[in-house]
Chains A and B, each alone.
Chain A
């Protein structure tokens, strides 16, 4: 169904990272935790105020804020 922002993903939805559009410190932090193209992710949940979001990647749980998730594009089925 094409490529969407990580922020727009529903809880329980899975996808494959397509691109990370961030540079500098934020880009570095996002990538070093494994959010690089080709990685399978699965949105696990959201905090009570709907932000940050938590997701499963490479077998661990990662959290990031919505404005950080905006930089991650995901291909969803």
Chain B
């Protein structure tokens, strides 16, 4: 039989490091039911026995204010693990014990893992472990999770302790509150009010703290008792407000810290130095968050992350590309021509390739972000940039998501959306998720490159700069708009710890990176493949009717008949040294023209094409004809598809997004095209629906398809509005 243990503790206490040390590779990540909070589970096999380990979300307290705290609390109450291992940062004991005391008050079985003992030693903090254990009545074990020290002792202590009934800790909160607690405890015990889940005094305490979740459950269980308890609580609140100008919640927190302070003063901790003297971390901060050097270094770090992610992921991405090209060629050679072949190559292989193509990017990006996060630098970035982002209803920590998505042109919104995980405030996080797709990802760049080169050849650099500015300003203003309308609400308090700088562990980095990548492949992969096939079908069906197809075939036959047999044999035959002769080149080109015309006709006839044609009446307001419309539909698969689809729509056949000069020439001479139309299309590309890979990721990260759907509809409507404005105003002026 295995023992179920839950790891709980403050963020930055080394909880996840201990979890990794205990479970090694035997772990998996899921979500708590109905919420997006991560649930990490693992198995630990040791000489002492087998343990099922759960890594609870890191919290500072156990109130009902944040999702993480509710999740941790519910888990402890509903799943009743055999033992809670509370990881406590020994170098920061006093604040960490604030949570421990709350576990003890809940009357659940707890062991204390006194982690980072090495850091405490170095700072001259002496902790009398036996004394602490004796005073709080639970086992206390020294650990250094980074080095795996104390693991065995911890597991032994847990095994020895399991099954021993815990006694809830009773803290004195001052005469007034204690009296109210006694009174409420009696009422709760005699009515068996929620006592199946919680100890009576704890319930009373939560009533005084105005804990929403407990108040709600109380109402549902027994209205009469609930009202009686609420009355006592509000009477006490009135009394405290009148006599001491305070409220129960504040007083409870003060006394909890008072209890911890008194506890530590009984020779539990001795400090060799003033605790608030500057540590090495603070010396580093003097430079890294300095008014002048801080922002400069930050820009350097961001550029470094960018360089790391987008340079080093190129090579593995190319390997994947080569692999899929090879598979595609294999399919091309073995499968008979026709629909099945087209489905396998354009739908399946390109679809899977599309999903996997992001994998190197996601891996490198998370490796970089994990490094910044674990080292403590990410918290400093949030600290330095909070003032700016707050103006738009966002949070300092939003910066990473924006940068990765293409805040500096060339990012990618997929890892960008996933990077928003470092944000703990729900409203700010949602607003970030919904606005990062406006950034200029690498896939939008070929579209800009095509249009800018064709229509703004004289000042390319300036126009690119304007595009970057428009997307930043647009994203921030939309964030502001969302935060004052549908995601309205007070800013989440910033109150945040700046953890000491630490060198991240390789294991921690790799585990984190692999988790994220695997989650992406597993969850996003299936949906993305489905949509990819759907898009392929939309651009393929219905097919041209037989009459049309034979018409094109007849054209080809006519051309072939007109040519001499020698020339025909030359293009059909194996490649010749020195290339084709002049007449053969002419012949090949005229055949390609027919192929292009056929592809164009086929595209126009497909479902996507019909949508494009039908939309012409509306899209004309923004200057888009049916060709542009289809290209934009294709852009939902991936933004660079806009370029290749435009190529097909202008009968040029498939256009390589890297080689767009011929398409540019074609557009310049096409009717209806000019700088105004081009700029209108650029505006539309910045703002319209994110590519569906991003949409799937938004659904995953928000935990709801509702927000994913919102981002498609809202962004497209916004883009259309702005494009119409651009086109109409532009046409009136120029």
Which residues of chain A are near B625, meaning CB under 8 Å? none
**A20 near B: Cβ within 8 Å?**
yes
A32-B60, A34-B95, A62-B495 are contacts. A52–B383 as well, Cβ < 8 Å? Answer: yes
**A7 near B: Cβ within 8 Å?**
no
Query: How far is the CB of A36 from the nearest CB of chain B, in Å?
Result: 5
Query: How far is the CB of B292 from the nearest CB of chain A, in Å?
Result: 8
**B286 near A: Cβ within 8 Å?**
yes
**B508 near A: Cβ within 8 Å?**
no
- In A59-76, which residues have CB < 8 Å from any B CB? 59-65, 68
| Cβ-defined partner of B497 (8 Å) among A20, A47, A60, A68 | A60
CA distance in complex: A34, B254 (Å): 9
B65 touches A28 (CB 8 A): yes
Q: Map CB proximity to B onto A36-73 as digits: 1 under 8 Å, 0 otherwise.
A: 11111110110111111010111111111100100000
Which residues of chain A are near B492, meaning CB under 8 Å? 25
Q: Map CB proximity to A onto B589-600 as digits: 1 under 8 Å, 0 otherwise.
A: 000000000000
User: Which listed segment binds A: B50-58, B366-374, B386-394, B709-717?
Assistant: B386-394
**B249 near A: Cβ within 8 Å?**
yes
B92 touches A59 (CB 8 A): yes
Which residues of chain A are near B271, meaning CB under 8 Å? 59
Query: How far is the CB of B155 from the nearest CB of chain A, in Å?
Result: 29
B249 touches A27 (CB 8 A): yes
**B156 near A: Cβ within 8 Å?**
no
**How many A residues are at the interface, by size bracket?**
35 or more
**B94 near A: Cβ within 8 Å?**
yes
**B247 near A: Cβ within 8 Å?**
yes
B294 touches A48 (CB 8 A): yes
Which residues of chain A are near B63, meaning CB under 8 Å? 28, 32
A47-B383, A48-B384 are contacts. A56–B276 as well, Cβ < 8 Å? Answer: yes
Query: How far is the CB of B43 from the nearest CB of chain A, in Å?
Result: 33
CA distance in complex: A61, B291 (Å): 18
Q: Map CB proximity to A onto B284-296 as digits: 1 under 8 Å, 0 otherwise.
A: 0110011110110
A28-B65, A28-B253, A58-B275 are contacts. A63–B494 as well, Cβ < 8 Å? Answer: yes
B249 touches A61 (CB 8 A): no
A34-B94, A47-B384, A52-B383 are contacts. A29–B498 as well, Cβ < 8 Å? Answer: no
Query: How far is the CB of A2 from the nearest CB of chain B, in Å?
Result: 18
Query: How far is the CB of A46 from the nearest CB of chain B, in Å?
Result: 8
CA distance in complex: A65, B496 (Å): 10
Q: Map CB proximity to A onto B86-107 as digits: 1 under 8 Å, 0 otherwise.
A: 0000011011001000000000
**B281 near A: Cβ within 8 Å?**
yes
A31-B253, A31-B254, A64-B494 are contacts. A47–B387 as well, Cβ < 8 Å? Answer: yes
A60-B95, A65-B390 are contacts. A47–B253 as well, Cβ < 8 Å? Answer: no
CA distance in complex: A72, B386 (Å): 20
- In B520-551, which residues have CB < 8 Å from any A CB? none
Q: Which residue of B lies closest to A62 (CB)?
A: B497
Q: Which of B249, B386, B493 has the most CB of A within 10 A?
A: B493
Query: How far is the CB of B369 from the nearest CB of chain A, in Å?
Result: 20
Query: How far is the CB of B215 from the nearest CB of chain A, in Å?
Result: 14
B286 touches A45 (CB 8 A): yes
CA distance in complex: A63, B396 (Å): 12
**A33 near B: Cβ within 8 Å?**
yes
Q: Which residue of B lies closest to A59 (CB)?
A: B275
A40-B276, A45-B285, A58-B95 are contacts. A30–B257 as well, Cβ < 8 Å? Answer: no
A29 touches B493 (CB 8 A): yes
B498 touches A61 (CB 8 A): yes
Q: Which residue of B lies closest to A60 (CB)?
A: B92
Q: Which residue of A lies closest to B492 (CB)?
A: A25
CA distance in complex: A62, B94 (Å): 14
CA distance in complex: A62, B497 (Å): 5
Which residues of chain A are near B515, meaning CB under 8 Å? none
**B178 near A: Cβ within 8 Å?**
no
Which residues of chain B are near A59, meaning CB under 8 Å? 91-92, 94, 123, 125, 271, 275-276
B387 touches A44 (CB 8 A): no
- In B206-247, which residues have CB < 8 Å from any A CB? 247
A-B contact pairs, 14 of them (CB 8 A): A26-B495, A32-B98, A33-B495, A34-B95, A39-B257, A45-B285, A45-B289, A47-B384, A49-B387, A54-B285, A59-B275, A61-B281, A62-B497, A65-B390
13 new A-B contacts, CB < 8 A, other than A47-B384, A56-B276, A58-B95, are: A14-B276, A36-B257, A37-B254, A39-B257, A45-B289, A49-B387, A51-B387, A57-B276, A60-B497, A61-B281, A62-B496, A63-B494, A64-B496
Closest 8 CB pairs of A and B: A59-B275, A31-B253, A49-B387, A56-B276, A61-B498, A32-B61, A29-B495, A29-B493
